[in-house]
Structure 1
């Protein structure tokens, strides 16, 4: 019994180590945004050049997630996680010491590569480490909290580090965390062998999907900056569609595909990924445009912005760490997902009534609480459903897919919402409305569009998802959800 208890404790400590790696990578996306003005002043970036401090990371990260997940299945998930973690940590040092614009952008690209490799396999490792449904639901709740709340924690951390020290520390802080995570992962995370390249070493397919994803992310980012009809948006976008289409056709006909398409036959897996994309797109209205509203209109400094999101983070922590497992096991992921999405939709629509002289307690706090409730319920349920089609052989692929969905939904959402907000602001400005009012009108429209996206996610959840769909299912040949382990597990999740 002692040995079993020690093994059980080791698994949970290993989970926290993996989630520390997740948090470090998720934080990096938002912590940099707070420090961008300081980076611009120090290294002399132009406004357009400054965008590449963010975009270089996003292109590498979004483009390599699917490949990273599959490499985990083939080479061993722990090995890919460690390689990614080392790359991310070393690139963080280069970012912190970068003396020029070019070196910083290049280091951010390498950071994105490392972040993609590490994060692509983490959810698959968790599924493998916790095969028992109740423990798996609890572990996914912890992971979901870290993944969803990391953005708001990053805003707070970025404000503290930038105000108290300087922008270099937003990267240097990754070094001790990365080293500690690496040492603990080597000791605690089991090294399971991969399938080997003979089970899916589709090199041409890897080139197609990686190039297609990177060009797709680039096109989305260009759409938000240069316009959706600009040649720099349309041409890369068309090439990306062609590359991804060729990749998918190739996967249908070759004997050892890089990405087995059977995973999409599950209604719950396909539906959960579609809902995830819509939800994350809507959430960017709150996290990014909401932060701009607080800074540009209410006059909050970076630290105050981070503190403003703290109630949402606390509510997410309570639900994700304490109640998610119980609720999923009691009611099933679908039945807690729909109320969670409804909280998110209402929160975004409430955000659309914020005035230019808004009061935090009456105008922002209700939205923060609703968003905390919504994310705390929605993300664990979606992660469970998105992984429900994964077998041990393709858990890395499923993990990479859901992470790709999150990144793709976020990139598209931010580009679309920013474009909508800017167009509305320009239109209202032309009508000779005061500048703050015009700016706020643009934000309001973006919040409404974000709310509509989440409402569309609710419609998909009602129409497509099925009850059950817990962590122990995978897709059969006819697209129905089949029990992957035994009837007792399937019954517990029903």
Structure 2
């Protein structure tokens, strides 16, 4: 049930992407405004994650989980029934707001429910597989629903998913609300403003470029606000985000590595979508089905490989190996051209499977490390920080790698001329090469930063200690 809720949160980040042309046509959205169908969700989710994690710890994780599910379902209905731009954008923002409460609560419940090392490893494997593979499932579901039903069902589909998770929530272990002192209002406001500014800057940079005045102001302002947030948290008595959570060497290294991983992965999804539909002329459903290969690899890597090995080997070894395998799979795609022969069998198939397998082996230990050695009262904020690192990494990756691809493609057209498809694919190849470099950098960081402590101890609290914290 926890994984089902996580699937819904991840699904909605991508399920409406393929439906955008239909949404724009029916509601009369302008080209400039249509991006807000995606951006409204991303900004609310990314900006309110830390607040959601704090609320989850304050009112109890199961209670937050139930509120998040109900709120998300209601917001989905309102968005699906929208008859204009404003109601749709409001519905998507409300989805993001409740997702910011639901995601930390779900990961916190997972942490406190599974305490025995072996079953904990398997549980984190399932959770990581659903979270990492949800984007691919969203693309398939979005294509099928848009093509055979109506774009509104991309939002209405959340009702049965939320209902299933809500029905199962009665079996989850409850936890009492916790007194956490005075509410850190300055920290809430400054952190939300800083995260929103950075996510929005990355979103705008994709279309306007990094030199645009508004983009630069948002980047500088967002960075300054997060620096101010760190200063506030170091001085307040009851901080929203205790700095020891991110200053912990293992956890800090994991957050940095997972953020870089998302930089590479979001670029991968973007370019492969463009390549398959724009160059290979795959339909949205066909492209989505190819991404299911990645999802299958993630499922095997997270549950069969990582789920079995996490309790036996150090998380660092598993994390680094997963990043190297992911980089190897992505490097295959850097050799694509506009007229590559046997593209599916020789390139797409092995690359998607390797990337999925590697990513599954990355997410399972990363999720475990990000929430390790954290008291139950702080599990919500630790989980929120992990989700925030992924959100920022994904937003940065989409904008940064898209800029690289567009610049290289434009330069290739000017220098060599020829078919535009060739220049476009060359841009994709160079951007994916950068993504491979980012993955290798993430592997080096994981090896150097995470490797100096006792990884096995850091991956899982002692069972007796965790039970004591729960009680």
State the TM-score bracket (shorter-chain normalisation): over 0.9
2:432 alignment counterpart: 447
Deviations 1:362-420 (CA, angstroms, capped at 9, x unpaired)? 12111011112111211101111212242222111110010001111000011101111
Give the 3 Å change call, closer, same or farther, for CA 305–448 of structure 1 in structure 2. same
Q: Are the counterparts in 1 of residues 315 and 459 from structure 2 also a CA contact under 8 Å?
A: no
Q: How many Å separate the matches in 1 of 2:442 and 2:385?
A: 18
Q: Is 1:323 aligned to residue 308 of structure 2?
A: no
Which residue of the other structure, out of 202, 216, 222, is the alignment partner of 1:234? 216
- The 5-angstrom pairing of residues 319-398 of structure 1 reads 319-358=301-340, 359-398=343-382
Task: Give the TM-score normalised by structure 2.
Answer: 0.94
Q: How many Å separate the matches in 2 of 1:322 and 1:471?
A: 22
2:31 alignment counterpart: 47
Segment drifting more, 128-137 vs 56-65: 128-137
Q: Is 1:461 aligned to residue 446 of structure 2?
A: yes
Q: How many Å separate the matches in 1 of 2:96 and 2:394?
A: 15
Q: Are the counterparts in 2 of residues 88 and 115 from structure 1 also a CA contact under 8 Å?
A: yes
Task: Give the TM-score normalised by structure 1.
Answer: 0.90
Deviation, 1:484, is 5.9
Structure 1 vs Structure 2 CA RMSD: 1.9
Deviation, 1:264, is 2.5
Q: Are the counterparts in 2 of residues 311 and 372 from structure 1 also a CA contact under 8 Å?
A: yes
Q: How many Å separate the matches in 1 of 2:33 and 2:413?
A: 27
2:128 alignment counterpart: 144
Q: How many Å separate the matches in 2 of 1:18 and 1:402?
A: 16
Deviation, 1:444, is 0.9
Q: How many Å separate the matches in 1 of 2:456 and 2:57?
A: 21
Please list every run of 5 or more consecutive structure 2 residues that lacks an aligned counterpart in the other structure: none
Deviations 1:208-256 (CA, angstroms, capped at 9, x unpaired)? 1112211221112112222212122122222222222222111111211
Q: Are the counterparts in 2 of residues 226 and 232 from structure 1 also a CA contact under 8 Å?
A: no
Q: Classify the secondary structure of the residue corresponding to 1:309.
A: helix
Deviation, 1:352, is 0.8
Q: How many Å separate the matches in 1 of 2:188 and 2:373?
A: 22
Q: How many Å separate the matches in 2 of 1:376 and 1:336?
A: 10
Deviation, 1:451, is 0.6
Give the 3 Å change call, closer, same or farther, for CA 486–190 of structure 1 in structure 2. closer
Deviations 1:9-41 (CA, angstroms, capped at 9, x unpaired)? xxxxxxxx1111110111111111111111122
Deviation, 1:131, is 2.1
Deviation, 1:487, is 9.8
1:414 alignment counterpart: 398
Q: How many Å separate the matches in 1 of 2:200 and 2:250?
A: 29
Q: Classify the secondary structure of the residue corresponding to 1:33.
A: coil
Give the 3 Å change call, closer, same or farther, for CA 424–122 of structure 1 in structure 2. same
Q: Is 1:188 aligned to residue 188 of structure 2?
A: no
Structure 1 segments of 4+ aligned residues over 3 angstroms from their partners: 470-474, 483-489
1:4 alignment counterpart: none
Q: Are the counterparts in 1 of residues 264 and 397 from structure 2 also a CA contact under 8 Å?
A: yes
1:280 alignment counterpart: 262
- The 5-angstrom pairing of residues 19-58 of structure 1 reads 19-58=3-42
Give the 3 Å change call, closer, same or farther, for CA 323–292 of structure 1 in structure 2. same
